[in-house]
Amino acid sequence: MSGHLPKAPEDFHPIPEAKIAIIASMWHPDFVDGMVARAKEELLRLQVQEENLGIYSIPGSLELPYAAGQLFEEQPELDAILAFGVVLEGDTTHNDSVIQNVVHGFSLICDRFGKPVINEVIGVKNISDAAKRSADDLNNKGVEAVFAVSEILRFRDSITSTDGVKLGF
């Protein structure tokens, strides 16, 4: 696991005006759904309005970058996308190519639209690793995704502020 978050969830920046989409792979729903549910809970706690939050199920992790691109294209008001999936290591190297293509695809989408895609598509060696990252605790990748999106949107707002005020870190 990645370790401890740099901030406690109660110290995450509120993002009440944010428009967020969550895209989630349909594979390994017990774990992906746990990450999505925790992300939604944390976003609502940070004052994201329910009507500004969309959740979409996508066939698999390889399709997530396509879905992200379509969402930014069709919903230009979106501020960010959180993406969730579980890729289980198998007997072949398919899992490696899936992860590599997902990361590359998200990179292309971020460059094209100038908006963040928070990648929580996790590669795991076994199901217990996925369970640890989707449990109802601070190791849940949904919490990590919300930390990242709250920080990056705060950063964006600090450098695009029209009043000339730069926020310190």
Say which of 4, 13, 28, 94 is annotated catalytic: 94
Would you state the pLDDT for residue 3?
Answer: 58
CATH of the domain at 42: 3.40.50.960
Is residue 9 one of the residues assigned to a domain?
no
pLDDT-based confidence at residue 165 (cuts at 50, 70, 90): low
Is residue 4 flagged as an active site residue? no
The percentage of residues in the chain with a pLDDT greater than 70, rounded to a whole number, is 93
Q: Is residue 4 part of a domain?
A: no
In a domain, 13, yes or no: no
pLDDT of 1 over the 60 cut: no
Report the number of distinct structural domains present in the chain: 1
Q: Would residue 90 count as lying in a domain?
A: yes
DSSP 91-146: SSSHHHHHHHHHHHHHHHHHHHHT--EEEEEEEESSHHHHHHTTSSSTT-HHHHHH
Q: Tell me the sheet residues that pair with 23.
A: 56, 83
pTM of the full structure: 0.92
Is 43 inside a domain boundary? yes
Q: What is the mean pLDDT of the segment spanning 114-139? A: 96
Q: Is residue 12 part of a domain?
A: no
Per-residue pLDDT of 29-49, as tens digits, reads 999 999 999 999 999 999 999
Domain with 101, as residue range(s), is 18-126+135-159
In a domain, 166, yes or no: no
Give a yes or no: residue 24 inside a domain. Answer: yes
